[in-house]
Amino acid sequence: MDSVSYDIREPDTTRHRAGRTRALATEAVHAGREDLARQGLHAAPIDLSTTYPSYDSRGEAARIDAFAADGAEPQGPPVYGRLGNPTVARFETALARLEGTESAVAFASGMAALSAVLLVRNALGLRHVVAVRPLYGCSDHLLTAGLLGSEVTWVDPAGVADALRPDTGLVMVESPANPTLAELDLKALAHDCGSVPLLADNTFATPVLQRPAEQGAWLVLHSATKYLGGHGDVMAGVVACDEEFAGRLRQVRFATGGVLHPLAGYLLLRGLSTLPVRVRAASSNAAELARRLAADPRVARVRYPRIGGAMIAFEVHGDPHAVIAGVRLITPAVSLGSVDSLIQHPASISHRVVDAADRRGAGVGDRLLRLSVGLEDVDDLWADLDGALGRT
């Protein structure tokens, strides 16, 4: 079995604002909400308007022209829901603060967010992407199929620099990777990228465990559906980046319509407030389950990230489909990052769209199971896994 570390390490969680140091947990609760008390509010309001009145049509035209020039958020009252929404903007502000970037731009899903990044680079004639497997299955498919006109070169981490071309617009990685939990040296990769933007999918780690921008990544992608929302009731994506790139992303969002609904923005902002607590508690459960799985003779291999986290990948000697059919407390379902535990068979579902040979070459074998550990009692979770493994 693989050697695994069960210590859950966390990076420096401080932020400096106006001479004061604020911990990540404090930012998670307060970022994007600082103006509420002055307005006599405690909970963030939900602005469901799709359009906004304005009696100054000349001023409106000037603000729209300014947006068309660089994608900067319009100053003053909102204009139209596709240009931006105040509730969604609160979530974007908060996520940028947690990731340590200038800005963040939210979308209707993680795939919409990735598509927008590709469209921004494609518009500059930079259609070539260098990527490291494994990635989330639909991300892999989007790149491989060239659905947005991109061309991808798949490489090992050590081959990134040699794969760069004059038309390379992006290097994409995921660490810990979905579903194998392979970890990459993001700082070394950022160095190898040179002037080409490194996009790091940080969905599994979240800013609680890792902030790729601090290691040199230009773009940080999240399927916000997962840990940022955290309760299995919201679908969203977000890219954390500098303000210049954010402006281009807003323009693509405006043109393509992949906007995030205000209610989803509200739920995500609320989810961020408990993110550090949820991630730490679920990670503690996952570390213990990984330890027990590694000692179980019915389990062939366990993969658990050295930075910790709430995801486990493990291979069984028996039939993985019997494990899926055998759980009673754990939910057999796609997705991850919820307060309840979920299990799925990647080769059948999340990575089914990836060519079988490429899938296996990336370590996604037919006996691999992916477990997203939630907040249940760890002994109850183990009892369920133990019973399901007994049915293989």
Active-site positions read 82, 136, 201, 226
SS3 category, 40: coil
CA-to-CA distance for 278 and 298, rounded, in angstroms? 30
Residue type, 189: L
DSSP at 256? H
Q: How many CB atoms lie within 10 A of CB 68?
A: 10
CA-to-CA distance for 195 and 218, rounded, in angstroms? 10
Name the token pair of 265: 């923005």
Identify the helix (H) or strand (E) that includes residue 153: strand 151-155
Q: What is the CA radius of gyration of the chain?
A: 21
Angle value at C-alpha 309, between 144 and 362, nearest 5 degrees = 30
Q: What is the largest CA-CA distance in the chain?
A: 73
Q: Which residue has the tokens 């405690």?
A: 42
Phi, psi of 325 (to 5 degrees): -75, -20
Q: Which residues pair with 171 in a beta bridge?
A: 130, 198
Q: How many CB atoms lie within 10 A of CB 157?
A: 15
Percent composition of the chain: helix, strand, coil (DSSP 3-state, to 5): 40, 15, 45
Determine contact, residues 320/346, Cβ cutoff 8 Å.
Answer: no
The 3-class secondary structure across 301-348, one letter per residue, is: EEECCCCCCCEEEEEECCCHHHHHHHCCCCEECCCCCCCCCEEECCCC
CA-to-CA distance for 53 and 42, rounded, in angstroms? 26
> DSSP labels for 27-54?
HHHHTT-TTTGGGT-SSPP----SB---
